[in-house]
Amino acid sequence: MLKKLYGYFSNKKSLAQLQVIPREDHNISRRNISHSALKVIQRLNQSGYESYLVGGGVRDLQLGGRPKDFDVATSATPEQVKQIFRNSRIIGRRFKIVHVRFGREIIEVTTFRAHHDANTDKDQPSSDSARSDSGMLLRDNVYGDIVSDACRRDFTINALYYTTNNFCIHDYTNGMDDLQQQKIRMIGNPAERYKEDPVRMLRAIRFAAKLNFSIEPATEKPIAQLRSLLTNIPSARLFDESLKMFMGGYSLACLQQLDKYKLLEFLSPPAATAMVNQASARSFFERTMRNTDKRLANDLRVTPAYIYAALLWPAVCAEESHLITKGEHPARALQLAAQHVIGKQVKHTAIPKRFTQSMREIWELQFRLLNPRGQQFFTLVEHPRFRAAYDFLLMREENGENLNNMGVWWTNFQSANEEERQVMATNFTTKSKPQKTKRRRSNHQKSPAKN
């Protein structure tokens, strides 16, 4: 087993001997671990299987964080796990895992994986293992032991195993050292590991952004040459990855990392083009992400619709202007521009329809908030997407757009009582109406004087 693993990994330092970190030398306490995760580990152990808390939960606990998700790795197969837990189901075909549900909480349980390469793949049943011509793993259900599992994980800081037997951490890849040195390091040959799963490039920069770590040189170097492999990733999976980046509380840092490594174009080509070519677009995106991070830090709600509405806004505006020059009415031009830009975007990230509809409403409300008429003042504030559209309007003004201070106007309108709102609406309507001027009648138009 060890000879095969050493043969696979060109960087033999990535496969270290087991280090056992006793309870007194690490920061993890059971009090900070989900009771549901502890139940899963206990029942698997009682059933005769090895089981450990693993991955981001261990990493974040060691760093002093409070993770929301906890993953368990075990020697039990998915089918054996399902037999133990009635409240579970097997999901995934490419990578089988078991979800054990406790109310709203889900504990993800994975079976120890083993390494397989192009030579051994053909000896495996097609349902267990498959690889594309580019080297990407299409199915990865070859099982092994904890040593092989540690070496099959992506980064050293995600390959730490916490056991409840003696409350120690098992470290096979020097992950604890990299945590202390604040390094993102790939386990094994980085180029080969990226080919196995190109999404690991996105994960590398996400962890660097989230933890404020640096990506060590060998892990960083292949990204420039291999980033085009992301075009092979299904759009639905890229949408999920984008949510992890933009809705985790560190979206500004992720945006900056995406820009640095030129990976934004694989998530949103229109946003990447605008960010490079328009300084105003770059500042608008950064304001959006900074505001999103602030809202999440204050436990306020954010939606993918708002984030994607911001990322695609420059493209929508450019398309809208083009259509207006061709004679389209501004309101209609905005609708057509939204349809065109969203149609191109969903080819890269499969944004669900419930979000694209909200995006359209946010955009269309921009026109209506700037040009309200009649009773629209009162109906607009009751619109389900008014708050998001209003925030969007404020963001545009903060970014330097001249919108006739309509953001301030709507702020005052919301805080006014009914009587004050009526006065504001009347004054706005009167002010916005074009003034009629009397025409002077010429002498020959005057009525003849009466005798």
Q: Which helix (H) or strand (E) holds 97?
A: strand 97-102
Q: Position 73: which residue type?
A: A
154 is catalytic: yes
d(CA 269, CA 312): 9
DSSP state, residue 99: E
Q: Position 32: which residue type?
A: N
Given the residues 60, 71, 178, 197, the one annotated as active site: 71
In the three-class reduction of DSSP (H, G, I as helix; E, B as strand; rest coil), residue 133 is classed as coil
240 is catalytic: no
CA distances from 342 to 236, 275, 280 (A): 15, 18, 21
181's CB contacts (< 8 A; 6+ apart) are none
In this structure, what token pair is assigned to residue 102? 């406790």
121 is catalytic: no
Given the residues 60, 140, 149, 154, the one annotated as active site: 154
d(CA 352, CA 362): 16
**How far is CA 85 from its chain centroid?**
31
d(CA 61, CA 74): 20
d(CA 164, CA 107): 16
d(CA 353, CA 359): 10
Given the residues 69, 117, 121, 391, the one annotated as active site: 69
Q: Which residue's structure tokens are 């309200």?
A: 372
Q: Using CA atoms of 121, 190, 138, 213 in order, give the dihedral in degrees to the nearest 10.
A: 140
Report, as residue numbers or ranges, the catalytic residues: 69, 71, 154
